[in-house]
């Protein structure tokens, strides 16, 4: 089954920049996350598809390979095992085409005396965090489905008390050489499939695979300041290697949930502060929330809706260090609702008093209407 275009999966155009790709991934990951869609296999499949697309398009090298070669440029089946199961090590040009030429000319991919690289695949886990957790840091436990070494055979794949034996077809090399006319062609050994060893008595628990499926519980320390798209590498916590090979790595990818009050952009936080008409006109002092508690915000006289107030140092300290960002408060004047008769009458009296004063109290409003009048006069 052919894969969908990664840009189409994330719903972004091909010219999308890193910020657009990150924003689209965050939206799609939240929508299809398995925790939000229990027992929905289609949502789980879409979540994996979104993760795979973001893994490629968020990495400059992988994105360049994908833009040039399409899925063939990042297809794990075309080369080395670094970009497998959501892993983080993207294939290079030699990874993509190494197996094609390696079997013929004896090139890369092999290792002396034992076939191919038996390192386990890297894994990726998307971790959802609240904004407070991402900003201040935390420790969380995650459960990851993976392949671990079989305890019965200690990863060898052979029945307890026995061991794999050297393949007699290739003499443990993992490859055989065949003469075809003037050419000597080297191929993967069909008997041991490139491993150099054969298991005569397979382990009954893992059926000769040397690995078993298991859910591991891991503790992950989240440093302060992480944001959506950041990754934490846990070395050796990926899939166990084949035939006792080294384990891959686990990459924990952060996705920060939307917050009810704050919106984060880089190291700055934004929030909207509703204020009354009276506070906007007469000025005043309000308490506004920050991630460290409440602070006082002074509202000047005649404040207009949409004005931004900057609270320096009340944003986020970046995960890679540096000065903290700011909290930017945008005031929004709230129109009163559910007025009683007396309040409505007072507003009418207030409106009449403003009209008597002319344009002095509402310069923007009157200037706008003058502009509209001039526009229509010019059309006549």
With the CA atoms of 185, 188, 192 and 193 taken in that order, what torsion angle do they form, in degrees rounded to the nearest 10? -160
Residue 71 DSSP one-character state? G
* The most confident of 110-119, 137-146, 204-213, 355-364, by mean pLDDT: 137-146
**CB of 159 closer than 8 Å to CB of 77:** no
136 & 150 share domain: yes
pLDDT at 82: 34
Predicted local confidence at residue 373, as pLDDT: 66
Q: How confident is the model at residue 152 (pLDDT cuts 50, 70, 90)?
A: confident
* Greater pLDDT, 84 or 247: 247
Q: What is the CATH number of the domain that holds 302?
A: 2.60.260.20
Structural tokens at position 31 = 């929508």
The answer to whether position 214 is within a domain reads: yes
Lowest mean per-residue pLDDT among 7-16, 24-33, 181-190? 181-190
Residues 6+ apart with CB under 8 A from 327: 262, 268, 269, 270, 271, 290, 310, 311, 314, 315
- 244, burial (CB in 10 Å: exposed 0-12, middle 13-18, buried 19+): middle
Confidence of residue 261 (pLDDT cuts 50, 70, 90): very high
- Pair (301, 367) in one structural domain: yes
Is 332 among the domain residues? yes
Pick 184 or 175 by higher pLDDT.
175
Which pLDDT belongs to residue 361?
Answer: 62
**CB of 235 closer than 8 Å to CB of 249:** yes
* Maximum average pLDDT range among 244-248, 363-367, 371-375: 244-248
pLDDT at 23 over 70: yes
pLDDT band at 102 (very low <50, low <70, confident <90, very high): very low
Kindly state whether residue 50 falls inside one of the protein's structural domains: no
Q: What is the mean predicted confidence (pLDDT) over 97-123?
A: 47
Does one domain contain both 220 and 140? yes
Give mean pLDDT, residues 314-326: 92
Whether residues 248 and 352 fall in one domain: no
Residue 95 forms part of a structural domain: no
pLDDT tens-digit readout, 328-360: 999 999 988 899 999 999 989 988 887 776 656
Same domain, 366 and 324: yes
| Residue that is written with structure tokens 């052919």 in the block | 2
pLDDT band at 3 (very low <50, low <70, confident <90, very high): confident
Q: How many CB atoms lie within 10 A of CB 219?
A: 9
Instruction: Kindly state whether residue 66 falls inside one of the protein's structural domains.
Output: no
Query: Where does a domain end: 257, 280, 300?
Result: 257
Among 99, 101, 107, residue whose Cα is nearest residue 81: 99
Cα dihedral: 177, 178, 179, 183 (round 10): -70
The pLDDT value given to residue 101:
31
* 214 and 240 share one domain: yes
Q: Average model confidence (pLDDT) for the chain?
A: 81
Identify the domain boundary among 257, 272, 295: 257
| One domain for residues 278 and 225 | no
Give the structural domain span for 122.
Answer: 118-162+202-257
Q: Are 245 and 316 found together in one domain?
A: no
**279 domain-assigned:** yes
pLDDT at position 160 is 87
Number of domains comprising the chain? 2
Does any domain span residue 112? no
Domain boundary among 224, 257, 290: 257
Q: Is 93 part of a structural domain of the chain?
A: no
Are both 154 and 279 inside the same structural domain? no
351/313 same-domain check:
yes
- Beta-carbon-side half-sphere exposure of residue 175 (alpha carbons within 13 Å): 21
Place of tokens 């794949």: 157
Residue 238: exposed, middle, or buried by beta-carbon count in 10 A (0-12, 13-18, 19+)? buried
Rg (CA), the chain: 32
Asked if 217 and 322 sit in the same domain, the reply is: no
In the chain, the percentage of residues whose pLDDT exceeds 70 is: 80
- Same domain as 272, residue 231: no
């Amino acid at each position: 089954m052919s894969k969908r275009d990664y840009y189409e999966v994330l719903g972004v155009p091909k010219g999308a920049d890193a910020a657009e790709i990150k924003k689209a991934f965050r939206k799609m990951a939240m929508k299809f996350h398995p925790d939000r869609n229990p027992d929905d296999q289609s949502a789980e499949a879409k979540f994996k598809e979104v993760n795979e697309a973001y893994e490629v398009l968020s990495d400059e090298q992988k994105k360049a390979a994908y833009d040039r070669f399409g899925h063939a440029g990042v297809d794990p089946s075309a080369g080395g095992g670094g970009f497998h199961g959501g892993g983080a090590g993207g294939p290079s040009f030699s990874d993509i085409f190494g197996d094609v030429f390696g079997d013929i000319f004896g090139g890369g991919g092999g290792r002396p005396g034992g076939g191919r690289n038996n390192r386990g695949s890297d894994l990726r886990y998307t971790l959802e965090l609240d904004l407070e957790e991402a900003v201040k840091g935390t420790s969380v436990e995650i459960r990851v489905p993976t392949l671990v070494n079989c305890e019965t055979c200690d990863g060898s794949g052979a029945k307890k008390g026995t061991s794999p034996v050297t393949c007699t077809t290739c003499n443990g090399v993992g490859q055989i050489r065949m003469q075809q006319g003037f050419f000597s062609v080297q191929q993967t050994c069909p008997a041991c499939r490139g491993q150099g060893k054969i298991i005569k008595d397979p382990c009954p628990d893992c059926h000769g695979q040397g690995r078993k499926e298991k859910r591991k519980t891991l503790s992950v320390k989240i440093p302060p300041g992480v944001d959506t798209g950041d990754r934490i590498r846990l070395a050796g916590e990926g899939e166990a290697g084949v035939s006792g090979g080294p384990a891959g790595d686990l990459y924990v990818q952060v996705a920060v949930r939307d917050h009810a009050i704050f919106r984060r952009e880089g190291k700055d936080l934004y929030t909207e502060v509703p204020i009354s008409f009276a506070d906007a006109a007469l000025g005043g002092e309000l308490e506004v929330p920050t991630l460290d508690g409440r602070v006082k915000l002074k509202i000047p006289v005649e404040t207009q809706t949409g004005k931004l107030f900057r609270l320096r140092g009340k944003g986020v300290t970046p995960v890679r260090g540096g000065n903290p960002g700011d909290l930017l408060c945008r005031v929004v004047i709230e129109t009163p609702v559910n007025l009683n008769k007396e309040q409505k009458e007072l507003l009418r009296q207030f409106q009449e008093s403003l009209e008597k004063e002319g344009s002095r109290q509402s310069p923007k409003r009157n200037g706008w209407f003058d502009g509209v009048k001039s526009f229509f006069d010019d059309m006549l």
